[in-house]
Amino acid sequence: MNPNDRITNVAPADAGKLVKMLIVDDEAVICEGLRYTIDWTQLGVEVVGEAYDGFEALRLIEEHGAQLILSDIRMDGMDGLELAKEVRHRHPEVQIVMISGYEEFEYARQAIRVGVGDYLLKPVDIEELSSVVKKIVTAIHTGGKEETTREIELWLSGMARHGMAFGQEPPASLNGVQFRIAATQLAEFHERYASMGADPYAAVQEAWQLGWKRALEGSPFHVVSVFDHENLLMTLLTAESRIEPGVWDEWVAKAIGSINSEVGARIYGGVSTVYEDLGETALRCAEALRLLSFHVLDGREVLTPRYGEEVMSERVLPAFDSTEMVQCLVAALFKQDREEVHRLVEDMFRFFRESGYLLPEAWNVYEELFALLRQRLRKSGMTGLDYALRGQPDPNIYNSYAGLETVVLEDMEELKRLIDQNGIDKSYWIVEKAKKYIIGHYRTDLKASEVAAWLKITPSYFSYIFKQSTGKGFTEYMNEMRIDQAKHLLATTQDKVFEIADKVGYREYKYFVSVFKTYTGMTPKEYRGLRVSREMSESGGETSASLESGTE
């Protein structure tokens, strides 16, 4: 069949008011589907023809004066990208929307580079396609102003999401002398907005985005904003003349405050350094995004690079005792004590808040704690812990201590469920009972068999569950406990070494010295002498000689 025979023209009575559109795809069924699925006339469009490759499309553009091209990106002969290049060269006023089943970023990037106005993926969402075409039609009728803004929005979105990898040159229509990026988001998103319906939240987003324009009316700035995430609005502020940094800060603070009032919500923003080279935009987007994490420290609305530097220069974070927390959590989890688990998690996040931890820092501590916790549970005989801890939750959703705390509590609930499912709490409490018995009898010549008899279980079973729970054999555990107590007595009493050996459960003095040296690398007398030397060095004066009198 001759290609010309496949062209179908439509000429409604009001065609003079309609934007002429050409559909391009190498599959006839796709062309027909696009043509007849949507009421194009209602959108202000006249479909003037269908083309099955790029060469045919170029001919029909000239023949029918097409103003809008709806094209597939992968076709035999001249594909969509090559077609877009030729259209930009021959007919720069023609608008292009590209459709593709290929989701690779490289295709989208190449399409945008050659001037494609929008890029949609197959299967095409009819509402999305209709919305895109409607915007283009409006732009054509209004002299292209909206399309110019759309071009800048696409470029800004690429810079925010892909950084320097985006590689797209700034739109020629983007003029200015100074620029600044503001990244804004709603505070406590997970707690306040995550469960909000789609329509009410869309109204919040609209007021938020329009709020920038309204707040800066009458200012020396132009503004373009795009949502990079449902809770992240990236805004490019442009000044046509050089403005003092203080004036920039005043207007930005006023704008964010005004948006808060208009939206009826708490919005805060990270604001980049003022810059003059648009090539820095990706860098400044990253800078603004990093500053958002400082909001949790004191809840301020405007977070500037200077504020970030001041905070980082003064911060000294106290260490969190993950080992102690793990011990407490294990006990509470095995007891299935939900209230105690929640209290411990609350205590941990109270520490993070009061110590000034940023959310990524708090999550890093939790990852370490979770690894220790999982290791401790495995030693107690628990199975089913092979799943990996998820990465840090989406910082745009969980952007508060409380939001992050809910994620940790969910993990604890899952561990509590696994423990209940495994049914290993019995052995855990047997070992805990044994530890208390050992503490009360370690000064005697205590044997594992005696503890097992007291617990009314076999010695072999006791040895097994004790090693599983503590990671140590009974003798090793006893020696470590006794030597720790001996070190304390050597440093704080005047008792002779053989007296201390007897007090901590060693009847033979030479055996005690041998075990002490194995665990500490020195004899009891050397250990006491080292302690005396340290105390004298630290005090800078005399230390009581009476301590010496206790040595052998």
Full pLDDT tens readout for the chain, 552 residues: 333 333 333 333 333 479 999 999 988 888 888 888 899 999 999 999 999 988 999 999 989 989 999 988 888 888 888 888 888 888 888 888 888 776 555 666 666 666 676 778 778 888 888 988 988 888 777 665 555 677 888 889 888 887 766 667 888 778 889 999 999 999 999 999 989 998 899 899 999 999 998 999 888 899 999 998 999 999 999 998 999 989 999 999 999 999 998 888 899 999 999 999 998 999 999 999 999 999 999 999 999 999 999 999 988 899 999 999 998 898 888 878 899 999 999 999 999 999 999 999 999 999 999 989 888 887 766 666 665 556 778 999 999 999 999 999 999 998 888 887 776 556 777 887 888 888 888 888 888 899 889 988 888 888 888 887 788 899 899 989 999 999 999 888 888 989 999 888 888 888 999 999 998 899 999 888 887 677 666 655 544 444 344 444
- pLDDT of 28 reads 86
Neighbour count for residue 16 (Cβ, 10 Å): 8
| Torsion on CA atoms 168, 173, 179, 182, rounded to nearest 10 | -70
Neighbour order of strands in the sheet with 95-100:
45-51, 19-24, 68-72, 95-100, 118-121
Looking from the CA of 306 toward its CB, the CA atoms found within 13 Å total: 5
Q: Are 303 and 289 in contact (CB under 8 A)?
A: no
In 3D space, the residue among 180, 272, 188 whose CA is nearest the CA of residue 219 turns out to be 180
Tokens, residue 339: 């209230």
User: Helix, strand, or coil here: 78?
Assistant: coil
Beta bridge partners of 23: 50, 70
Residues in the chain: 552
Among candidate residues 42, 100, 52, the one with its CA nearest the CA of residue 78: 52
How much is the pLDDT for 166? 64
DSSP H stretches of helix in 179-240: 189-192, 198-215
Q: How far apart are CA 523 and CA 534, in angstroms?
A: 17
The enclosing H or E element of 224 equals strand 221-229
Tell me which amino acid residue 371 is: A
Indicate the burial class of 257 (C-beta count within 10 angstroms; 0-12, 13-18, 19 or more).
Answer: middle
Place of tokens 């409607």: 134
H or E segment and range at residue 244: none
End-to-end CA distance of the chain: 112
State residue 154's pLDDT score.
86
pLDDT at 224: 93
Query: Tell me, what's the pLDDT at 319?
Result: 94
